[in-house]
Structure 1
Amino acid sequence: MQSSEERMTEPAWDRDRVRDIIANHKDQPGALLPILHGIQDALGYVPPDSVPLIAKELNLSRAEVHGVISFYHYFRDTPPGRHTVYICRAESCQSMGSEALEAHAKRRFGVDYHGTSADSVFSLEPVYCLGNCACSPSIMIDREVYGRVTPERFDAIIDNVKVIP
């Protein structure tokens, strides 16, 4: 069985980049969250094999680091798709049909929340308010917000998303 250090031989730039981010933040008070944000900003996710490196440098247990990653919905431990689809789960959107929209999106992509479609094009994430309550239910794709989204409109929007290779 490989050690975590040996398994962290994904592309060398991943390991080197993670180590640089850790080195740049480890002496700050409360360094764990800035390190996790830095890694996710750089790589798009926090690789599970980076947890032992982070834990060692911060003198934390792996469980403590993993606990923070799993507690905050923002952090991913798998690479995201090329586009991220956020579905609003706030009360206004729920009262206007977002639960049916959620179910439709999950079927369309074949994933649950925090998952990525098999073709790696779309990741599906919940969000707890997009500030578009007057046009509920709302979704956001990458940084573009859409209101009054029905399952049919969802399909039309998704079909028109430009897939960047």
Structure 2
Amino acid sequence: MAAYPAWNEAQAQAIIDELASLEGAMLPILHALQEAFGCVEPQAVPLIAEALNVSRADVHGTISFYHDFRSAPPPQRVVKLCRAEACQALGCETLVGDLARDHGIVVDAHGPHDRAAVETVYCLGNCALGPSALVDGELLGRVDADRIASLCGAQA
């Protein structure tokens, strides 16, 4: 995963100004800021609110509603683990328990991460080969706790 530049208010304001006139501009702005900085910094919330003439609570609510938006920089690696029905039927919930018990990896733990994080997603379209995960754009099937832990750089 690429390193992201530090927060820059002038650059953020330029992104916001460029997209503010779009219909339904909030999501494109949030996506663009996250693409530029790796997250939607809390300092961006009042800038977006002012540009779109909405409350800060509206902006914060949108950020917190969508699981893909981050308010802190991402770890070096994000493993997206499918927990939809098909993967549940093929053992993903057991895998989640094994990750915590055997490797100390808590799925969807929020906070500062250095190396890796495992996040829940619902359906990667690889249902027949579940449990499935998406890592660095690569779709993996029939993953187990040891494989996820190794992808996260954890020791067994």
Q: Who is 1:73 aligned against?
A: 67
Change (3 A) 1:57 1:106: farther
What amino acid is the match of 1:94? Q
Change (3 A) 1:25 1:117: closer
Which structure shows the higher helix fraction? 1
Identity %: 45
Q: What number of residue pairs does the alignment pair up? A: 149
Q: Who is 1:30 aligned against?
A: 24
Change (3 A) 1:20 1:14: same
Change (3 A) 1:14 1:111: farther
Change (3 A) 1:25 1:110: same
TM value normalised by structure 1:
0.80
The RMSD of aligned alpha carbons is 2.3
Say yes or no: does 1:39 pair with 2:41: no
Q: Who is 1:113 aligned against?
A: 108
1:114 deviates by 5.6
What amino acid is the match of 2:110? G
Q: Who is 1:99 aligned against?
A: 93
Change (3 A) 1:106 1:80: farther
Q: Distance in 1 between matches of 2:86 and 2:14?
A: 43
Change (3 A) 1:106 1:26: farther
8 Å CA contact 2:115–2:153 kept in 1: the answer is no
Relative contact order: is structure 1 or structure 2 higher (C-alpha 8 Å, sep ≥ 6)? 2
TM value normalised by structure 2:
0.84
Q: Who is 1:14 aligned against?
A: 8
What amino acid is the match of 2:70? R
Residue in structure 2 matching 1:84, options 64, 78, 82: 78
Structure 1 gaps, min length 5? 1-10, 161-165
Q: Distance in 1 between matches of 2:50 and 2:106?
A: 34
